[in-house]
Amino acid sequence: MFFMFDTLEGYIKPGTIEADLVQKIDFSHLPVHIAVIMDGNGRWARQKNLPRTEGHKAGSKSVKEIVEASARLGIKYLTLFAFSKENWKRPEDEVNTLWELLRKYLIDESQVLEENDLKLKVIGEKKGIPFLVRKELLRVEKLTKDNQRMTVVLALNYGGRQEILEAINRLIKRKDSLKEVNEETFSRYLDTADLPDPDLLIRTSGEMRLSNFLLWQCAYTELWVTPVFWPDFQKKDLIQAILDYQKRERRFGGIIKGEGTNRE
Ligand code: FPP
């Protein structure tokens, strides 16, 4: 089924929790880039006496819901941590299920992404990704490369430390006389070179860790952790995260305007 992710009109039903929450959003102060550590698929499944793979399947549905909700709300970049470098340590059938779900997502959703002006981008080490998934990723990246409304970034076979090391190695290999590197030049060697740093990082299922995700990029990112498992994460939770973000005063290491250390 294809549909246009129009505005919020008709999407949020009157009288629901999200209808109440959405009214409180200040649309002139949205986070530009939201990153998400989608955690808790396994625990969600265990709670229901289901195999872990069922948790991942349910997690795919949340991916669709949150991509749509983010686009409709006006978020410009949404980065999802879908497969980490460490995830290879899981049993083979779980690893295979995760890649198969990803391939299915790309096949099912490429038209939805394209018709709604959404661009797909991948960060992480592409050459470790199974061939058939890589083929789909390349196809969808190419199909959606000129889209403008929102960029969906999938972190696949991704690790923050590995990304930083690869950037350093790319820098070393440069033959010209690069004498000094500053933050801006270094950022251009990361997988996220053309993306702004995340404003808000959401982590589901209650863990208070970064888990090797966007280590460089999250230096000043606001963190929001919810106990909700990823398969239960819905648009109302996303709106709640945005509302909490909007209450925060971001100082980037500085001080609040007008609050100097006046000791006279
Ligand atoms: C963490 O849950 C989640 C993952 C390791 C992968 C996320 C994958 C999906 C949501 C499905 C496919 C993705 C897309 C983009 C279609 P966990 O298994 O670590 O949960 P646990 O900590 O409760 O065991």
What letters, b where the CB count within 10 A reaches 16 and e where it falls short, cover 139-158? ebbeebeebeebbbbbbbbb
Instruction: Summarize the confidence of residues 62-84 as an average pLDDT.
Output: 98
Q: Which atom of ligand 1 is nearest to the CA of 229?
A: 23
Predicted local distance difference test score (pLDDT) of residue 94: 96
Which of 36, 37, 38 has the most ligand 1 atoms within 8 A of CB, as the residue to mutate?
38
Q: Which atom of ligand 1 is nearest to the CA of 59?
A: 10
Check if 231 has its Cβ closer than 6 Å to any atom of ligand 1.
no
- In tens, the pLDDT along 237-246 reads 999 999 999 9
Check if 53 has its Cβ closer than 6 Å to any atom of ligand 1.
no
d(CA 29, CA 204): 23
Check if 40 has its Cβ closer than 6 Å to any atom of ligand 1.
yes
The model's confidence at residue 252, banded by pLDDT at 50, 70 and 90, is: confident
- Residue 21 in contact with residue 7, Cβ under 8 Å? no
d(CA 166, CA 190): 8
Give the residue numbers annotated as catalytic, written as ranges: 39, 87
Predicted local distance difference test score (pLDDT) of residue 263: 41
What letters, b where the CB count within 10 A reaches 16 and e where it falls short, cover 11-38? bbeeeeebeebbeebeeeebbebbbbbb
Q: What is the pTM of this model?
A: 0.94
The model's confidence at residue 176, banded by pLDDT at 50, 70 and 90, is: low
pLDDT of 190 higher than 50: yes
For 29-159+198-246, CATH number? 3.40.1180.10
Helical (H) or strand (E) element with 35: strand 33-37
pLDDT of 219 higher than 90: yes
Q: CB neighbours (10 Å) of residue 57? A: 17
Name the residue with tokens 């960029």.
151
**Residue 184 Cα, ligand 1 centroid: separation in angstroms?**
32
Q: Which atom of ligand 1 is nearest to the CA of 82?
A: 7
